[in-house]
Amino acid sequence: MTDAADLAARVREGELRLHELDDHADADVAAAARRLLVETETGASLDSVGDYGFPAERAESNIENMVGAVQVPMGVAGPVPVNGGAASGEAYLPLATTEGALLASVNRGCSVLSAAGGANARVLKSGMTRAPVFRVTDVVEAEALVSWVRDNTDRLVEAAESTTSHGELLGVTPYVVGNSVYLRFRYDTKDAMGMNMATIATEAACDVVEAETEAELVALSGNLCTDKKPAAINAVEGRGRTVTADVTIPGAVVEDRLHTTPADVAELNTRKNLVGSAKAGSLGFNAHVANVVAAMFLATGQDEAQVVEGANAITTADVRDGDLYLSVSLASLEVGTVGGGTKLPMQAEALDVLGVRGGGDPPGSNAEAFAEYIAVGALAGELSLLSALASRHLSSAHAELGR
């Protein structure tokens, strides 16, 4: 078999391109050849990057031109009791991050949630979206297209669902802007995050639209989906899983464990997360939900760019008979327990920690449970950070933990 050094030399001499190496050697040798080439060309050492703990072929569907792997430290927070619609019992939450103090903060929040008897969590809405944009002549033709879609949704369902054995088209919502018509397709993708499934299914439906109407497809994605970008439509209509977690914490627990009061936490949340966020024009009204979403995404093989939508969350706090009521509502959390990066060995193990790897029974239940666990983690993170701010302990905690 051709060795890595020979392959790297052939690339330098122009005989091969980087992406062609996989055709001449197994995945690990091809990765080694790319490392040698990059080291030679840049002077960098990639010894640590090349010291990865799984066969490179396991990642062939996840990355191109692989040279190795970046290992992010992973810790766990918990255990935390979760009373969910799909999740139940005590859970350890896997989080991968390089941000010191994050795990300690979430873990502190989890301990207080445990002292309060655990957190509730429910998925309130589910649906992955894709919104192609069509060109029409004028608003008359636009109205005709909208009417056709509403009268022929069953035909779009048939075309879309012919491409998948799991996906289900839940509905199509038209939006008109001048001579542009956007059709926002929404799918139940079961335990898959479902972006690829939704894209392929929508393309088949678009073929029917073009064949039966005067509309011309301009792009399979018209940005009204909206994927990997901040968007008010996701905050209002939801995308992926819309999930909420809440808890009521006895006032004595707040004072003893968090060194503040329910009234101070509630006032801080209003002034910071609600009024401050509104003044800033933020689409997220929360303290740091993105921290927990990102860390759990990295640990479990989710699409990390979709942290943008996952952080689209609102935190609320009230005083109830001297106790603290706290909630976090994530409008557009896009997660899956099958496909994508969930198949990689380390990420699969992290999903095993939560007991949600693979397809659920019934279908979709694992992804729903996973969404509920993330929401509870976000709740723990919000509780801890808000309390640290209310007690004025934030900077001292960061200094002590060496961030």
Catalytic residues: 99, 303, 398
Q: Which of 191, 198, 208 is nearest to 336 (CA)?
A: 191
CA 207/CA 212 separation, integer angstroms: 9
CA 41/CA 216 separation, integer angstroms: 47
Side-chain half-sphere CA neighbours of 186 within 13 A: 17
CA 149/CA 147 separation, integer angstroms: 5
Q: 137 in helix, strand or coil?
A: coil
Q: 43 in helix, strand or coil?
A: coil
* 3-state percent breakdown (helix, strand, coil) of the chain, nearest 5: 45, 20, 30
CA 293/CA 273 separation, integer angstroms: 17
Question: How many residues make up the chain in this entry?
Answer: 403
Pairing of strands 323-333, 240-249: antiparallel
CA 299/CA 293 separation, integer angstroms: 10
**Would you tell me how many other CB atoms lie within 10 Å of the CB of residue 193?**
26
In whole angstroms, how far apart are CA 327 and each of 75, 324, 375? Answer: 24, 10, 9
CB of 376 closer than 8 Å to CB of 89: no
